Amino acid sequence: MAKAFDVRHQTGFAGIAMACFVLLYLPIVLLVVYSFNSGMSLAVWEGFSWRWYASAWDNDQVRSATMRSLVLALSATALATACAVPAALAMSRARRFKGQGLIFAMINQPLMVPEIVTAVALLIVFAAVKVATGYTGMGFLILAHAAFCIPFAYMPIKARLEGMDKQLEQAGQDLYGTPWRVFRRITLPQLWPGILAGAMLAFVISLDDVVITEFVKSAGQDTLPTYMLGQLRRVVTPEVNAIATMLLAISVVMVVAFFFLSKTKK
């Protein structure tokens, strides 16, 4: 009897897998290690030190950019998730209708179009609005990030809805539950892991976005990634490594928090 195909038993699989892990994670490990370098070099180890973390903490521009990045990411995530939930419900729970494929393509447009194209389009629209209204605040960045993050929040939510048992919702309707009551008491509790996953993905995408932010932001609206890009154009020091390590730590904390929250929900 022929054995079932198992990719793990193929010649060279272990070597290729290890090479992929090394290529993926070795640069991150080196980034973190050299963030503790006491010297100015990014490639020569001169001793352990918290110098660059202290330097980043004492840097008013870094603190301002960090707070702006967090506020922007949280606002864009809330708005994108609030739009993604009803969109996913409409696409997953409604009967098929004419133009449904077109709507799906429009929701996922930021995933299919190069980010630079989206950035230029947003720049043109917001530039006209700025001229007409005179407003140059953070609202444009929040809207731009939310528009770009909607499909990233939408996909996990829609996947979760498609994996849920519709019979529970139908049973609630048979027991004369209103649509809102059925959603609140049956759909939403099961949907939370998908909402959390979508929100987490949207937050991370917004937090590290550079292209759209560079095109849409006004003067004095640097986020942490755009500040780091500006520093790389001038003088590169391990302070950039320290900032990147802090961003990495935020992402890891979010992943761990999501894991425990989703585990609790289950």
pLDDT band, residue 261 (cuts 50/70/90): low
157 vs 101: which has the higher pLDDT = 157
Q: What is the mean pLDDT of residues 81-104?
A: 83
pLDDT of 79 higher than 90:
yes
Cβ(244)–Cβ(29) below 8 Å: no
Task: Return all residues near 68 (Cβ < 8 A) that are at least 6 apart.
Answer: 138, 221, 222, 223, 224
Confidence bin at 111 (pLDDT 50/70/90): confident
DSSP 147-177: HHHHHHHHHHHHHHHHTS-HHHHHHHHHTT-
Could you state, in order of their start, the residue ranges of all structural domains in the chain? 60-265
pLDDT at 52 over 90: no
CATH superfamily of 60-265: MetI-like (1.10.3720.10)
Quote the distance between the C-alpha of residue 22 and its chain's center.
24
Residue 151 vs residue 111, higher pLDDT: 151
Question: Tokens 């994670």, residue?
Answer: 25
Task: Judge if pTM exceeds 0.75.
Answer: yes
Cα angle: 158, vertex 164, 170; to 5 degrees: 115
Q: How far apart are CA 252 and CA 2, in angstroms?
A: 43
Of 86-90, 102-106, 258-262, which one has max mean pLDDT? 86-90
